[in-house]
Amino acid sequence: MNPKFKEAGRYDPEEIFSGDFPVVSEKVQANVTVVLKRGAFLVSVGGADYVRVTQAAVTGGAVPDAVLAHDVSDLGVQEVLVYRTGQYAQEGLDLGDLTVTPDLKAELRRFSIYLG
């Protein structure tokens, strides 16, 4: 490094997005039962509150239809911001116990959610 330059800080971008597909965001009610990180998949339960998607839910037929836009540390029912569409880097998402399969990717595409 040139001795005239000094390190002023470090920038580590969040690698959640992987393309320029339009992102639509929306505020929704979520029932948060565990601390959630940005990039967690959520699903609406019976058309009501959103919850984190688990592998068991996907195996049972649930399809994630939203990506959490920010970390959530408070538990309980609350308003959160989600992304409804977009192109995401799979490594940047908080998948929890969810296994991403070709079938799940195909289901996500119905909601204009693309994984790269």
pLDDT in tens, 39-96: 999 999 887 899 999 999 999 999 999 999 999 999 999 999 999 999 999 999 999 9
In a domain, 110, yes or no: yes
In a domain, 38, yes or no: yes
Domain region containing 59: 25-115
Q: What is the CATH number of the domain that holds 70?
A: 2.40.300
In a domain, 4, yes or no: no
Token pair for 95: 């998948």
Number of domains forming the structure of the chain:
1
In a domain, 69, yes or no: yes
18 vs 7: CA distance, rounded Å = 28
Comparing CA positions, the residue from 50, 38, 58 lying closest to residue 99 is 58
What's this model's pTM, rounded to 2 decimal places? 0.85
In a domain, 76, yes or no: yes
